[in-house]
Amino acid sequence: MIAKFWAVEKVNSTLLSLPPCPFCGNSYVELISSLDHKWFYITCCEELGGCGAVTKICFSMEEAVDKWVRRDGELMRGNGNKD
């Protein structure tokens, strides 16, 4: 039996007024949260051509969005980055 652990919402960054990925420019940004909404992170969607850049785990959606928007040291490059 596989426990259903992830609640995944795929959203376009424009819907959340997020800027596109700072590393590859992809506008398909994935907001991922635990099923109980206790933690969140945002990632550049590799399935839709992104590089997989990802924020650290955050404990509110607002915090995750803040890390994505500010693009400080809390945002890590993904494996698919080409430069």
**Pick 30 or 33: Cβ nearer Zn ion:** 30
Closest CB 75 distance from Zn ion, rounded Å: 10
Q: What order do you get walking across the sheet with 75-76 strand by strand?
A: 6-12, 28-34, 40-44, 54-55, 75-76
List the one residue from 18, 32, 42, 44 that touches Zn ion (CB under 5 A): 44
**Pick 51 or 58: Cβ nearer Zn ion:** 51
List the one residue from 21, 32, 58, 75 that touches Zn ion (CB under 5 A): 21
**Pick 35 or 76: Cβ nearer Zn ion:** 76
The verdict on 50 binding Zn ion (CB under 5 A) reads yes
Please tell me the distance from the alpha carbon of residue 35 to that of residue 13, in angstroms, as a whole number.
Answer: 21
Across 19-33, b (16+ Cβ under 10 Å) vs e yields ebbebbebbbbbbbb
